[in-house]
């Protein structure tokens, strides 16, 4: 059990994710990876790991983990109740843990997704150069499964780090619900009904998951029974099924689909959308491709200037 962690409580859905999967989509397998890439990157940066390296992603109720070695950790993303040996511990900074310490993520309070980075490299097989867990076909670290009570995850040796904190100006405040969207390939099919998608907010459905965020308008919908030939989709694509309730495709989404594509979420807003909790509101605002590129460029430059790292889109 040297250089390992032991899962004492699995949590609602905890899995190992990275940003490394390549060339899998031609086989119909998604890239997977973190739902909130920015928080994932920050968590790794805090303890000196590469931006694309693995973290443990948690949601709703987090995991309880026992450490069997001295190491460093960090926690970024949704505001959560985090404890080490029953003592409340801060987020968004590097923390030291010792052999025998127990980390307990009791509850995620504000937002959806929390990222735990542990100094060292998980010992695991990779699939398409990635440890990202994709349970539907059983690939990724931990034998392609989410974490369960009793699981042991082993690590390669770690290095000493300089303690860091994420600057407050870079931390998501979880209060913004305006999601910016670029016109999709079938946008013209919706122009006569565009007010339905932009005038009033949608509500995030509790049935949302890592495959897609489902949006609803209670007591209001449109009849839109239009199908297209199965066409490529990417993370952030907004599909519109016949009931008019959009589905925003996320990390574990399929690679093709037959629903019309209203738009694609600007990549700068995908992490923000991922952190909006069920039953909270979301409102779309259409922007141009050039505006989206400008937003992404500004976000990259802001992060680069503050902490010296490049985000991964």
- The number of distinct structural domains making up the chain is 2
Same domain, 18 and 159: yes
What percent of the chain clears pLDDT 90, i.e. is strictly above it?
83
Is residue 298 situated within a structural domain? Answer: yes
Task: Supply the mean pLDDT for the chain.
Answer: 93
Same domain, 32 and 164: yes
Same domain, 153 and 200: no
Same domain, 146 and 188: no
Same domain, 139 and 226: no
Same domain, 138 and 277: no
Is residue 267 situated within a structural domain? Answer: yes
Is residue 313 situated within a structural domain? Answer: no
Please report the pLDDT score of residue 161 as a whole number.
Answer: 75
Mean pLDDT for 188-209 is: 93
pLDDT band at 172 (very low <50, low <70, confident <90, very high): confident
Same domain, 76 and 112: yes
Calpha distance 106→96 (Å, rounded) = 19
Domain end among 170, 191, 206: 170
Is residue 302 situated within a structural domain? Answer: yes
Is residue 74 situated within a structural domain? Answer: yes
Same domain, 104 and 230: no
CB 85 within 8 A of CB 64: no
pLDDT band at 135 (very low <50, low <70, confident <90, very high): very high
Please report the pLDDT score of residue 221 as a whole number.
Answer: 75
CATH assignment at residue 249:
2.40.100.10
Measured from the Cβ of residue 259, the count of other Cβ atoms closer than 10 Å reads 22
Q: Model's pTM, two decimal places?
A: 0.96
Q: What is the pLDDT of residues 36-49, one digit of tens each?
A: 999 999 999 999 99
Weakest-pLDDT range from 20-29, 79-88, 267-276:
20-29
Weakest-pLDDT range from 153-162, 226-235, 279-288:
153-162
Mean pLDDT for 252-278 is: 96
Higher pLDDT residue, 126 or 312?
126
Is residue 262 situated within a structural domain? Answer: yes
Calpha distance 189→182 (Å, rounded) = 15
Q: What letters, b where the CB count within 10 A reaches 16 and e where it falls short, cover 106-122?
A: eebeebbbbbbbbbbbb
Domain end among 170, 191, 217: 170
Same domain, 207 and 161: no
Please report the pLDDT score of residue 313 as a whole number.
Answer: 64
For 266, the domain range is 178-307
By DSSP bridging, strand 87-88 and strand 71-84 are antiparallel
Most confident listed range (92-101, 163-172, 218-227) = 92-101
Is residue 249 situated within a structural domain? Answer: yes
Domain end among 123, 153, 170: 170
CB 274 within 8 A of CB 187: no
pLDDT band at 219 (very low <50, low <70, confident <90, very high): confident
Is residue 113 situated within a structural domain? Answer: yes
Same domain, 130 and 201: no
Same domain, 186 and 153: no
For residue 195, the Cα-to-chain-centroid distance in whole angstroms is 29
Residue 210 has pLDDT above 70, yes or no: yes
Please report the pLDDT score of residue 184 as a whole number.
Answer: 97
Taking Cα atoms as reference points, which of 204, 281, 268 lies closest to residue 236?
268
CB 82 within 8 A of CB 103: yes
Same domain, 79 and 27: yes
């Amino acid at each position: 059990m040297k250089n390992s962690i032991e899962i004492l409580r699995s949590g609602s859905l905890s899995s190992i994710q990275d940003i490394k999967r390549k060339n899998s989509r031609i086989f119909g397998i998604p890239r997977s990876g973190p739902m909130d890439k920015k928080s994932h990157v920050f968590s790794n940066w805090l303890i000196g790991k590469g931006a694309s390296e693995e973290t443990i992603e948690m949601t709703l109720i987090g995991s309880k983990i026992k450490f069997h070695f001295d190491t460093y950790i960090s926690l970024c993303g949704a505001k959560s109740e985090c404890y080490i040996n029953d003592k409340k511990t801060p987020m968004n900074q590097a923390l030291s843990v010792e052999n025998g310490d127990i980390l307990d993520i009791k509850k995620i309070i504000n937002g959806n997704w929390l990222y735990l980075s542990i100094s060292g490299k998980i010992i695991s097989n990779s699939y398409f150069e990635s440890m990202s867990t994709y349970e539907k076909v059983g690939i990724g670290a931990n034998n392609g499964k989410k974490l369960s009570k009793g699981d042991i995850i082993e690590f390669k040796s770690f290095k000493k780090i300089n303690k860091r904190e994420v600057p407050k100006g870079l931390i998501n405040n979880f209060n913004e619900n305006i999601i910016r969207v670029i016109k999709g390939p079938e946008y013209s099919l919706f122009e006569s009904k565009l007010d339905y998608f932009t005038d009033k907010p949608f509500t995030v459905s509790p049935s949302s998951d890592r495959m897609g965020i489902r949006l609803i308008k209670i007591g209001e919908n449109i009849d839109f029974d239009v199908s297209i030939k199965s066409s490529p989709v990417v993370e952030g694509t907004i599909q519109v099924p016949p009931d008019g309730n959009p589905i925003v495709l996320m990390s574990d989404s399929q690679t093709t689909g037959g629903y019309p594509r209203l738009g694609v979420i600007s990549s700068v807003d995908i992490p923000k959308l991922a952190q909006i909790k069920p039953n909270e509101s979301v409102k779309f605002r259409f922007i141009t491709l050039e505006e989206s590129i400008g937003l992404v460029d500004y976000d990259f430059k802001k992060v680069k200037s503050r902490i010296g790292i490049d985000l991964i889109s």
